[in-house]
Each structure stands twice: as structure tokens, then as C-alpha cells.
Structure 1
Amino acid sequence: MLRYLYLNQKGKLILFVVFSLLSSLFEIALSYVMLQSVDLAVSGQLSDALNYGLWFALYIACYFFVDLLCRHLRWAVLRGSQTNLRDDLMQQILKQPVPEFHTHNTAQWLSVLTNDLDLLDETYFRVFVDTLVDIFSGVVSLAILLFISPWLALFILAMIAVQMLIPKFMAPRISKRRAEQSKSAERFTVTANEHLEGFDLLRSFHLSEASREAMSEANRSWEESRFQARYVSSLARLLSFTVGQIIYIGIYFIGAILTLQGLMTVGMMVAASQLVVYIASPIQNVSDAITDMRGAKEIIRKFRALLDRKDSAEDGTRDIPSQFSSLTADHVFYSYDKERPILSDISFSLERGGKYLLEGDSGSGKTTLIQLLTDVLQPDKGQILLDGHPIKEYKSEKYARFIIPCSQQTFIFNASIRDNITLFQKTFSDEEVIVALKQSGFEEILTRYPEGLDHLINQSGSSLSGGERQRLALARIFLFKPQIVIYDESFAHLDAASVQSLIDTVMADTDRTVIMTSHQVTSEIRKRFRSLALLNGRSGAKHT
């Protein structure tokens, strides 16, 4: 994880380290200022006060600007580390095969990118960055103290040994509590997301109060686990603080004895008492840091499992032909478990420009077959071939644009009409978007809102009817122009006249291959499409 502190920002990190060291030196120099002030008071030479005052003012001004720049660089380094790590996590999440992605709830992925990442930032990145400064400050202060009084330095070293026992004892307990906190945060995010997404359903069944109670229970569980993690962490800090108090009192007590014996001056004792601030505090901070960083190991383990994940297969190298000849299923078998095969010995060939009606009862394997054709799933046996070559030989990004499914459930982004159709691709002109809207029969939306393509649609698409959401999804298909399009119940929310209009559009596009699934097959559809029937996981004959 530490590589994210310097990834793409080595120069910034080096500057932070340099200015942190300067800031620590200025901070430690305060003990020298105090020593000089005490000596001035003891000497009684008031004539030197103005000269000392000017030097002290210059010291304060330099310290202020160095420390200000140091703080700016600190937050900039932490910002970069969080940004880079979140980018890599998002990349790995989005690279996963569809089945693996859906082994987690969407809210669980959100929890990883928010709750877990924030927790790692607080208990790992920030802690490590601050520890660098503390170690330097403590070492330099201890070296100066050794010069002032070896006896005081020896006492400090003994207490450091005691302080280092605290992380060894407390880290495993903190790690366990933080792992529980991470899981509870994930459960709350999942529960809240599902209940808010299902707001209309829960309200229609008068289950709003039950929903509130479920979210409240998840909330209480999260806060309880956070309380336990914070309590154990605070206990570790209290132990470190107690050792720090012993160091403070010990320095004053031993220093007083040494001063009475004439082994130290009053000024040296004052300087030593100030130096102990820069020793005891860093010792406590380093002890807490080691505890925190060890306590973050469960979250780090979760992140590494995701970041170190290897792609299941190498991407192909073939380009998609500009005009394909056939897409073939060659003796394809697939099952989710060995005892329940879904598809058995499926063989058929889809020709360029062909129009096919995929038929079959619920559970016959239509959705599974679509996922095999679109390379979401891989066959247990057999192959899907594009112009005689396995589809794995083709570049995955190109193949994804080659065959696009259009399902009944249309996802609407909280974005403009333009972005909802272009899917945030900047390569399409407004003219192309408008043509796609006209082809889907939805151009009237441009006159409904004064902003036109810039009109913002919320994520639920509440301002659109079911049919309008489907037309928007169809506009995406017409814009991206795949060579094969799969209409999976895509016309379910449209009236008979609209369906007929879209069927005419589909049939007029002679170069595009179409696969359609529908539970409402009219005689007109059956007459104009070739049938591909699935019966008990096997493909039937095609006919015109």
C-alpha cells in the first residue's frame, strides 16, 4: 500500500520530506530559544534584549512559512495517494467478469470505495506520513538531549522500550475491531441502498416503518462496531499517553536532582524540559502509529486481494471484421452446477443481416445463451465462433461493441439526455444523437424541455414512462450501431403501434443482425423473424 504515497508524485513526496525535516528543526530550535531567554534573564544584560527579540521574530516568521508549506504538501500527498488507490480499485472492479462482479452487491463495492478507503486513509496513510516527521524529530531531540545530559537520555531510551510493548499487545485487538467495523459499514451501505432503491415498492406495501427499522438496526450495528474500534484504539492511546506522562515527570524530577548536584544549569534544565516534548510526543505518536498500521491489516488484505487479482484470460488480438459473415454456436454446453445443465449441445449459426426470434419457456436457457453470445459467460464445452474463429481471439472491447444487448430493464443515469444516450462518450455529435432519437421514435423529448439534449434526467428516470425509457435505450443502440443487436424483451412497455413501427425499422436495416426475445410474440413478428427455439436446454430448428 505504501507505494501509493509516491506513485505519480515522487517530487511532491520528496519536497514534503525536506520541508518536514526543516519544520522539525525549527520546532526543536524552540528549546534553544528558551535556553537563550533563560540565560539572558540570568545574565541581567538588558541591552541584548532588542537583538534577541529581532532574532526571535525572524525565527517565528520562518517557522510559520515553512510549517505552512509543509502542511500543504502533507495534504497534497495524501490526496494523491487516495486518488491513485481509488482509481486502481475502480479499474480492478470494472475489469471483473460480469459473474464475478455480481458476487458482490453494488453497495458492497461502494463501501470498499468509500468507507474502507477512508478508514485506510485515517489509520495507515496519514499515520505513516506523520510518523516520518515524528521519528526525525524524536531522534534529533534525543541526540541533543544526550549532549545535554546522558542520564536523561538513558532514562528516555528505557521508556521507549516500554512504549514499544503497547503496539505488540494492542494491535491484534484493534485489527479485529476494525475488521468488524468495515463489515458493519458494508452491511449498512447495502441495506440503505436496497431499501432506498425499493422505496416505491416498500411504500406500496405499507412497509416504510419496517424499512426504517431495518436501516436503523444496521445503523446501530455500524455505530456500535465503530464505538468498539474507537474505544480499543483510545485505550491504546491512553497507555501510550501514560508512558508519556511518566517521561515528562521523570525528566523534571531527574533534571531537578542533576541541577541541585551542579551537573546541569537552570537553562539546560529548561531546554531539556522543552526537548522532552519533542521526544515524548513522537514516541507516543510512533507507538500509536505502529498500533494503527498493524490494526489496518485486514482492510489492506481486502484491497490487495482485489488489486493483485489476475485477469482470467488474456485479451484477444484479432480485429472485428467490418462486415461479418456468421456467428456460430458449435456444440455448446453450459451449467451452473454439474447436476443441473442449462444448455446441452447447442449448435446454430447466425448470418449477417438475419432476423431471429429466440423462443423458449422460462428457465429454458435464453438468458444464459445471450450471455454466452455476448462473452459474459464462457461455455463448459464447445465454442462460440465469429467467422470461424473463437470469440476469445478477438479484442474484447471491440467484441463488446460488435454485439450489444438491449434489455427490458433500462438503466437511466443521473445525467443529461445526451449523456444517457452517448453513455458519456464524447465522439458523437449532437446531430448523430438526434438521428438516433428519431430512429427510436423519441425525438419529441427534445421539444418537451427547453434545454433539449442538455436536460437532466434523474437516475430513476421518474419523469419518463416505461415506454419512453425503452425508446431511450433503443436510441443508444441506433447510435452505437452494433453489427448484432439483441432485443431482450425490449418492446415490453410499448403499445402495439409502436412495436410495429420499431419492427419495421428493424427489418428495414438489412445489414444488421437482430436477435429478439419476447413473451408477446405476434403473428406479424413470427412471420418476419426466423425462429430459434430452446427446448429443455437444446436448440430446435430454424424456420422462416
Structure 2
Amino acid sequence: MGAQRRTSTAGREDGARELWASMFRGNWLLFSANVVLYLAQAIITLAFAYILKQTFDAVAAGSLDLLAQTGQAVALLMAAELATELAMRASLPAFLRRAVSGYRRAVFDRLLGKGIGAFDGGGASRYESALTNDVTTIETTYLEKIFTMVTEVVSLAGSVAMLLAQSVPLAVVAIVSALVPLVIGLASGGRLAARQRVVSDATGRFVGTVHDLACGFPLIKSFSAEDAARERFEAANGTLEADKRLRRRTELGIRALAMTAQGISQLSVMFFGAWLALSGRGMTVGGILMATQLMNSIAQPIQDLPSIFAARRASLGLVGKLAQMLGENRERMGGVTLPATLTKGISLSNVTFDYDENLPVLSGLSAEFAAGGCYAVVGASGSGKSTLLSLLMGAHSNYGGQIAFDGCELRDASLESLWATVSLVRQDTFLFDATLRENVTMFTHVDAAELESAVRRAGLASFVAAHGMDYPCGEGGSNLSGGERQRVCIARSLLHGSGVLLLDEATSALDQETADQVTRSVVALEGTTRIMVTHRLDAGQLRLFDGIVVLRDGRVCEQGTFDELMATPNGYFRALYTVGE
């Protein structure tokens, strides 16, 4: 167990490092260019401080030649500063664009590698938040400050070196006063990282709540549940803002300590330099002014570096959290390739499965689905109908018993070939805010004859004749009726070349006439194995199926045609049908 935990931890750390590296992969040229530019900026700032000393020393010495040389140096430095600023204006945004887009691309690629059952329990809002709010936090609090850190580290080191050249005791005072805020920043970084993780989690929950309320808006209005909806929103909003308040307080606390240390450093150097000058220890008025000016280059890093170091730890925490999420429920690789079209069929033998070990969903389920057949799966709510289809889609491999496609155990099958063979049409159909063609083809180029065949077999031909394939479906298919959305999903599966079509309550939200039409479209499909979960116990529809599988308490209690099941005295299906009439 301990070895497994260490392996899991190492995997998460490797995943976090890989995600972090994605921001810099292929971006090193721009990164290096920005480092050089910000380094030049630091050198220019130090040079201005030295010129300030030379200017006042020239005045004190009454040297016009030295003053003229100083003026020429100022002109050159101003030109160099302008050129540096213009170059930074182009290079920094280019680096940030590549870094953020590379990170998002790496995250999305890993997201696509998760198993098909990754979101069975929800949680999509966590990834939405990670790809939006968390990325913005990483970009603004750390990525934008990386090169500022370069400037400030060089400025700090250069300022101390110039003070050492001017006066060793003065430099020692500056160094000692500068160490305090750095230690504060390093010590407080872990606390800020923890606060940032809490805010990230709260943001994910808030996004999920808003998404639920927006999707359920018609239901909220129809049930006059505005007050309850407002309470849910206020609870999520209040929690998020309370967590953000604590994070801000932590940030401001670190900053306050840094600013206090900054004031102490400036005063220490100024008064100590004055004491050196008054005591005749080789300090000039120009030297005092240079030291005061250099303390700006020391004070700013003292103020900023602790926050930047803390922000880096916080950003690493966000990346680590996302890496852990992405490492869960990964898609298994390799396996036996399934045939595109089944010749024998699907068999389930003594299948058991549970989401919670104390609450089994399937208990010893056995069933046979012949290749090319059309079957209905019925049963009371909670009998395991949707879970059965989820297992057939390969969403979970931790089931007991055997599930075989043409004799090949599902656990041994390649998931890529499984998903090429099997398609699932759910009750809650998902359509992109795109054209009808793009929704059916999934944004790929396909043969026109194959597309026309899929549209015709799905029962969409008349709609396409009236509106065309470039008809906009709207967000979530809002421009289509329920039946039309279902047919689009069926056409999508047919075009995909699925040899097995699973339908999970695909007609439950449709009126009787539309449900009949969709069911007949499914039954009419030839060469495809069809398994349709339905709660509609309509004799006209159920007589169309080759067989009906009846589930009760996670197992098959009856199986046969509609007439066979109705002819069984005291049968469970007959009781269900009678109650549903």
C-alpha cells in the first residue's frame, strides 16, 4: 500500500512538472529575449544611480568637463532605455501568449486522455475553473512577474555591489536589512499557496452552482423557486468571497511586512551614510545621493520579491492540484481490437458492479444481445439500466463477471476500437452551437454520400430538405425540437460507423408522436446492434423490438418479446406494464 501511495505521489509530481514545463516548451527564445531585456533595464537603472553620483561630485568639484561627460552618458542611457521598453512591449505579450496557450493545450490534451466515465459523477466545473480562473491567476501573479524578478534580483545584487565599492560598512547595513523581508516571503509562501488552493476550490464550486442555476432557470421560474435559487447563489458567492478575503489578507500581510522592512532599510542606509560623511570616512555628498538612489533598487525588490516567491509557490500549488485531478480516471491504453461490426453479439455473464461497495447497482446480471438485433431494456428506477449502458461503453473496468463483444472480454479490448464500434445517445443530448452539418460530422470532412445516408437513416431527410445542412442548431441545440436533437445524435453515431448503438432514455423527454418516430427510426436501422433503455412501456413501441430485457434490483429477471412477457402469468414485466397503463 505504501509503495502504491509513493508511486501515485511520484506520478502526480511528474504530471505537475510536465504541465509547468508546457508553459516554456518551444518558448525559450522569447523567454531568453525577455531575460536579456529586463537585465538591460536593471543595468540602465544602476547606471543612472552612478551618473547621479558623478553629477553631484562634478558640481562639488566645479568640473564642467565631468559634467559634460555625464550629460552625454545620460543621453545614451535614455536612448537605450527607450529602445529596451519598445522591445519589451513586443516580447513580453508574445511570451505570455505562448506560455498560456501552451499550458491550456497541455491541460486539454491530458483531459482528452481521461476515461469516458470521468465525469459520471459530475465535476466538470472544476476543470472549467482550472482552465479559466486558475490560469488567469498564474498568468497575472507569476508569469507576468518572472522578468520583473530578474530585474529586481539583478538590481538588488548590483546595488549591493556598488555600495560595497563605495563603502563596505554601508553595504553590510543594506544587506542585513534586506535579508529580513526575503525570509518573511519564503516562510509565508506556503500559507499563501494554501489560501490560493482554497480559493480555487471555492471558485470551482461557484462556477458549478452558477451553471446549475442557469441551466435550471426554466424550472426555477415554473416552480417559483427564486428565493431558494437566490439562497444557493448567495451561499456559494459568500463562501467564495470569504475565502478570497482571507487570501487577500494574507497577501497584504506579506506586503505590509515587506514595506516595513523597506522603510527600515532606506533609513538605515541614509543615516549611516550621513554618519560616514560627517566622520570623515571617505563618503561624499554624491555618494550619499547614489546610496539613497540605490536603495530604491534595493527597496523595490525587498517589497516585491517575497510576494513573487509566494505567488510562485501558489501557482505551483494550482498546477499540482490540476495535475492530481487530471491523473484520476485515466484512459487505459492498448488492448485487443474489436471488429467494427459484430457478428456474434454482446454477452454479459454474472456481472456485478457498484459505485459504493455498500450499495451494489448490478448483482449477477446475465444477458445476451445478438448481433444486428434491436433490444429494449426496461425496469424500475434504480434497477441499473443506465449503469449497464455505462459499462458497455467501457466507462468502468472494475466490474465483476464477464462482458464480451464477439467473445472478446471488454477489459481486454482496446478502448479506441470500442468507441469506434459503440456509440451512446443519451437523454440529455449534447449539440454544439454550430451548424447541423458540423454537429453530425463532428467538424470533420466526410463523404457526401455517407453523410446523406446517415441523415436519411436517422429520419432527418425532411428537415434537411426544408432547412439545409448549414442550419444553425443554436446553443445546446436550442433551435431544434427534442426529436430533431435526438435524430441529430443518431445520425452522428451512424456516420461514425458505429456497429453498436446504445440509447439511454433517448425518448423520455419527447411527446408520444415524436417518441414513436424516433423509436421507429432506431428499429429501422439495419446492420447495427441496438440496445435502447426506455421507461416508456408502450405496446406499439415495445412490439417493434426483437427482445426486451427486464431488470430488477440489478439483475435480469425476465427476457423475451413483448407478447411472450405479457403471456407470463404474474410476471414482473406484466405488472410494470399494467401499473404504467
TM normalised by structure 1 equals: 0.89
Shift of residue 71, structure 1, vs aligned partner: 5.0
Matching residue's letter, 1:281 = Q
Structural mapping, 1:458-477, within 5 Å: 458-477=474-493
**CA 1:126–1:391 in structure 2 vs 1: closer, same or farther (change >3 Å)?**
same
Question: 1:120-158 CA deviation, whole Å, 9 max, x = no partner?
Answer: 334444444432332222112211221111111100111
1:114 lines up with 2:126 in the alignment: no
- Distance, in Å, in 2 between the alignment partners of 1:81 and 1:108 is 21
**CA 1:162–1:336 in structure 2 vs 1: closer, same or farther (change >3 Å)?**
closer
Shift of residue 99, structure 1, vs aligned partner: 4.3
The corresponding residue for 2:270 is 252
Matching residue's letter, 2:181 = Q
Shift of residue 444, structure 1, vs aligned partner: 4.6
The corresponding residue for 1:17 is 35
**CA 1:101–1:191 in structure 2 vs 1: closer, same or farther (change >3 Å)?**
same
- Distance, in Å, in 1 between the alignment partners of 2:510 and 2:231 is 38
Q: 2:401 aligns with which of 370, 373, 382?
A: 382
**CA 1:499–1:202 in structure 2 vs 1: closer, same or farther (change >3 Å)?**
closer
Structural mapping, 1:312-461, within 5 Å: 313-318=332-337, 320-321=339-340, 324-378=343-397, 380-424=399-443, 426-429=444-447, 432-446=450-464, 452-461=468-477
- Distance, in Å, in 2 between the alignment partners of 1:306 and 1:380 is 23
Matching residue's letter, 1:257 = W
- Secondary structure (helix, strand or coil) at the match of 2:185 reads helix
Moved more, 326-335 or 163-172: 163-172
**CA 1:213–1:448 in structure 2 vs 1: closer, same or farther (change >3 Å)?**
farther
Aligned sequence identity (%): 27
Matching residue's letter, 2:339 = I
Shift of residue 276, structure 1, vs aligned partner: 1.9
Conserved? CA contact 2:338–2:405, under 8 Å: no
- Distance, in Å, in 1 between the alignment partners of 2:76 and 2:385 is 79
- Distance, in Å, in 2 between the alignment partners of 1:59 and 1:163 is 31
- Distance, in Å, in 2 between the alignment partners of 1:65 and 1:307 is 43
Matching residue's letter, 1:369 = L
Question: 1:310-338 CA deviation, whole Å, 9 max, x = no partner?
Answer: 83743325253555432222332223344
1:222 lines up with 2:260 in the alignment: no
Matching residue's letter, 1:66 = T
Shift of residue 19, structure 1, vs aligned partner: 2.5
Conserved? CA contact 1:89–1:306, under 8 Å: no
Question: 1:494-538 CA deviation, whole Å, 9 max, x = no partner?
Answer: 566655555555455431111123323334642552233334433
Conserved? CA contact 1:315–1:392, under 8 Å: no
Shift of residue 435, structure 1, vs aligned partner: 4.3
1:95 lines up with 2:83 in the alignment: no
Matching residue's letter, 1:466 = G
- Distance, in Å, in 2 between the alignment partners of 1:494 and 1:193 is 24
Shift of residue 354, structure 1, vs aligned partner: 1.7
Shift of residue 382, structure 1, vs aligned partner: 1.6
Question: 1:421-470 CA deviation, whole Å, 9 max, x = no partner?
Answer: 2233x232566445433333334544665xx4344333243332222222
- Distance, in Å, in 2 between the alignment partners of 1:456 and 1:535 is 42
- Secondary structure (helix, strand or coil) at the match of 1:353 reads coil
Moved more, 143-152 or 519-528: 519-528
- Distance, in Å, in 2 between the alignment partners of 1:47 and 1:3 is 53
- Distance, in Å, in 1 between the alignment partners of 2:110 and 2:301 is 38
- Secondary structure (helix, strand or coil) at the match of 1:276 reads helix
- Secondary structure (helix, strand or coil) at the match of 1:375 reads coil
**CA 1:235–1:489 in structure 2 vs 1: closer, same or farther (change >3 Å)?**
closer
- Distance, in Å, in 2 between the alignment partners of 1:210 and 1:71 is 49
Shift of residue 478, structure 1, vs aligned partner: 2.9
The corresponding residue for 1:532 is 549
Question: 1:457-488 CA deviation, whole Å, 9 max, x = no partner?
Answer: 33243332222222222222232231011233
Shift of residue 201, structure 1, vs aligned partner: 0.5
- Distance, in Å, in 2 between the alignment partners of 1:337 and 1:48 is 84
Moved more, 349-358 or 120-129: 120-129
The corresponding residue for 1:211 is 229
Conserved? CA contact 1:188–1:218, under 8 Å: yes
**CA 1:492–1:307 in structure 2 vs 1: closer, same or farther (change >3 Å)?**
closer
Moved more, 242-251 or 6-15: 6-15
Conserved? CA contact 2:457–2:525, under 8 Å: no
**CA 1:134–1:516 in structure 2 vs 1: closer, same or farther (change >3 Å)?**
same
1:512 lines up with 2:528 in the alignment: yes
- Secondary structure (helix, strand or coil) at the match of 2:286 reads helix
**CA 1:23–1:5 in structure 2 vs 1: closer, same or farther (change >3 Å)?**
farther
- Distance, in Å, in 2 between the alignment partners of 1:57 and 1:447 is 74
- Distance, in Å, in 1 between the alignment partners of 2:53 and 2:549 is 93
- Secondary structure (helix, strand or coil) at the match of 2:303 reads helix
Matching residue's letter, 1:303 = L
1:271 lines up with 2:287 in the alignment: no
Shift of residue 171, structure 1, vs aligned partner: 3.6
1:284 lines up with 2:303 in the alignment: yes
Matching residue's letter, 1:17 = V
1:521 lines up with 2:538 in the alignment: yes
- Distance, in Å, in 2 between the alignment partners of 1:133 and 1:99 is 48
- Distance, in Å, in 1 between the alignment partners of 2:327 and 2:422 is 30
Q: 2:256 aligns with which of 238, 260, 275?
A: 238
**CA 1:502–1:4 in structure 2 vs 1: closer, same or farther (change >3 Å)?**
closer
Q: How many residues align?
A: 541
Structural mapping, 1:152-163, within 5 Å: 152-163=170-181
The corresponding residue for 2:578 is none
Conserved? CA contact 1:33–1:56, under 8 Å: yes
Moved more, 408-417 or 339-348: 339-348
Shift of residue 267, structure 1, vs aligned partner: 2.2
- Distance, in Å, in 2 between the alignment partners of 1:19 and 1:142 is 21
* Long gaps (5+) in structure 2: 1-16, 565-581
- Secondary structure (helix, strand or coil) at the match of 2:543 reads helix
Shift of residue 104, structure 1, vs aligned partner: 4.3
Conserved? CA contact 2:472–2:479, under 8 Å: no
Matching residue's letter, 1:529 = D
Matching residue's letter, 2:163 = L
* Long gaps (5+) in structure 1: none
- Distance, in Å, in 2 between the alignment partners of 1:438 and 1:502 is 13
- Distance, in Å, in 1 between the alignment partners of 2:441 and 2:544 is 33
The corresponding residue for 2:160 is 142
Conserved? CA contact 2:189–2:314, under 8 Å: yes
Matching residue's letter, 1:386 = F
Shift of residue 100, structure 1, vs aligned partner: 4.1
Matching residue's letter, 2:248 = R
Question: 1:12-71 CA deviation, whole Å, 9 max, x = no partner?
Answer: 222222222222212211112223332443454556766654442232122222233235
1:190 lines up with 2:208 in the alignment: yes
